[in-house]
């Protein structure tokens, strides 16, 4: 008997307390993340900079950075408490069948009879529409506070209420226009290949990922920001010379109006592996840093390309997907699993019975979207461990990209750019190792400068 068959046999046992397991896993994740947040909060109480930063960061900036980091942790803990409360209520009081019924009611109200939700897939899409919109509304106070209170207090927010509302409307419409067909295709695979869906799902999600990498930068992101070609001049010449020197397939250099929303800075490139690339610079970076520093930052980004980091992450993502759906195949046809949460599979109820309760749903097939959402909750311990692995992999890649830029002779300018970004973004100076290993996709500034053997010009003097 294979591992998956053993798991399926185990999950098919009656009287498994699925609700208690999911609530327990969610509470365990909350307690663990609260613990490492507490560790980080203590680390932020240190009044001493890491030695490598002592000559680079003034006391006022250090104190402001610590205050900003503490404020973000307090906000994250409150957000996590609210998320846990929602999860417990959602599971304990059977909100899934309630929202399932609500989706059907919405379809009945908005659509002619022949277009109403009559299949499990159609009902699933209406369910997700209701769920996503309710989630957006519920999270509005937190989104408002994050942008217009927390970020505003430390001078980063550039959003207006108009842009904030417009962004939400655009995101909702895009979710329906793009997410709807993608979710339909995803669910249709289970409908067509009930017992051998694994490779079809993985190939479908790979195609979606590659299409997103291709189309989102070109067609979706311009709906939210303006991309302007970098003007001719010293900066453009410097970037093009670097790209030509290392054989980087540069197609276009654009400047994004990031300052419309925030004063944070960044730079990145887009494009599939083995295709031409588009470099994107935040206007906040272009306006505040020297040509040599920006070129050094892009040398780091080109290092990601040279080391095939994008391709590696795509492969890792697909292996992760394969593992998840292999496990999902062991439980997704477990009728008792669905029934615990108010879904009776392969049953028909009289109209009066179906209408009599909002916490009981009768379906002619397995409501896959419900099963997958609940299964994700069961994966909480595994995904916490996976987060450590993904952070480690990302951090290793960042070190490699830094080393690549160093090999091109950009050590000093890269270090200066990293220090400048740290100051402007008020990034955390002191980081607890466990918190960093779990949450940080990048090494800390002190770790990166140490790895680059940086010696402060002020110290030399």
**What are the residue numbers of the active site?**
301, 402
Could you tell me the two tokens for 418?
A: 């990293």
Question: Is 300 marked as a binding-site residue?
Answer: yes
Sequence-ordered list of residues with C-beta below 8 angstroms from that of 419, at least 6 positions apart, any chain: 53, 56, 57, 445, 449
In total, the chain counts a number of residues equal to: 461
Distance of CA 277 to the CA centre of its chain: 22
CB 343 within 8 A of CB 366: no
Q: How far is CA 228 from CA 94, 344, 459, in A?
A: 49, 54, 40
Q: Dihedral sign, CA of 15, 18, 23, 29? A: positive
Question: Is 457 marked as a binding-site residue?
Answer: no
Of residues 330, 243, 234, 232, the one with CA closest to residue 278: 243
Q: How far is CA 6 from CA 11, 329, 330, in A?
A: 9, 12, 9
Question: Is 304 marked as a binding-site residue?
Answer: yes
CB 125 within 8 A of CB 39: no
Phi, psi at 135, each rounded to 5°: -60, -40
- Tell me the binding residues for Zn(2+): 300, 304, 398
Binding residues: 300, 304, 398
């Amino acid at each position: 008997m294979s591992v998956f068959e053993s798991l399926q046999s185990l999950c098919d046992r009656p009287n498994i307390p699925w609700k208690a397991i999911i609530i327990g896993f969610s509470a365990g994740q909350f307690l663990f993340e609260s613990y490492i947040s507490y560790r980080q909060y203590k680390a932020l109480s240190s009044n001493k900079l890491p030695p490598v930063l002592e000559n680079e960061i003034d006391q006022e900036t250090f104190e402001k950075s610590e205050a900003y980091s503490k404020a973000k942790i307090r906000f994250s803990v409150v957000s996590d408490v609210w998320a846990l409360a929602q999860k417990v209520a959602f599971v304990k009081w059977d909100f899934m069948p309630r929202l399932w019924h609500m989706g059907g009611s919405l379809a009945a109200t908005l659509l002619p009879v022949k277009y109403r939700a009559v299949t499990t897939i159609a009902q699933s899409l209406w369910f997700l529409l209701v769920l996503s919109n309710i989630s957006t509304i519920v999270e509005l106070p937190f989104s408002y506070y994050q942008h217009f209170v927390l970020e505003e207090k430390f001078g980063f927010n550039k959003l207006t209420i108009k842009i904030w509302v417009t962004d939400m409307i655009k995101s909702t419409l895009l979710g329906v226009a793009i997410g709807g067909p993608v979710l339909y295709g995803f669910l249709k695979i289970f409908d067509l290949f009930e017992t051998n869906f694994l490779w079809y799902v993985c190939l479908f999600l790979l195609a979606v990922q590659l299409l997103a990498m291709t189309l989102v930068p070109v067609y979706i992101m311009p709906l939210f920001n303006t991309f302007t070609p970098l003007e001719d001049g010293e900066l453009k010449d410097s970037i093009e010379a670097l790209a030509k020197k290392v054989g980087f397939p540069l197609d276009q250099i654009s400047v994004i109006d990031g300052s419309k929303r925030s004063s944070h800075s960044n730079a990145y490139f887009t494009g599939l592996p083995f295709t031409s690339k588009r470099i994107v610079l935040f206007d906040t970076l272009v306006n505040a840093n020297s040509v040599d520093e920006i070129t050094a930052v892009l040398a780091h980004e080109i290092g990601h390309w040279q080391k095939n980091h994008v391709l590696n992450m795509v492969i890792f993502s697909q292996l992760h997907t394969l593992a998840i759906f292999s496990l999902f195949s062991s439980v997704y046809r477990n009728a008792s699993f669905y029934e615990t949460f108010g879904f009776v599979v392969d049953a028909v109820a009289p109209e009066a019975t179906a209408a009599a309760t909002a916490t009981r749903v009768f379906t002619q097939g397995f409501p896959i979207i419900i099963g997958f959402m609940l299964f994700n909750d069961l994966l909480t311990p595994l995904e916490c461990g996976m987060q450590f692995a993904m952070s480690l992999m990302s951090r290793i890649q960042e070190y490699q990209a830094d080393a690549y830029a160093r090999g091109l002779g950009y050590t000093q300018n890269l270090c200066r750019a990293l220090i400048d970004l740290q100051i402007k973004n008020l990034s955390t100076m002191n980081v607890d190792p466990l918190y960093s290993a779990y949450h940080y996709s990048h090494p800390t500034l002190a770790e990166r400068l140490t790895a680059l053997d940086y010696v402060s010009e002020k110290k030399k003097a």
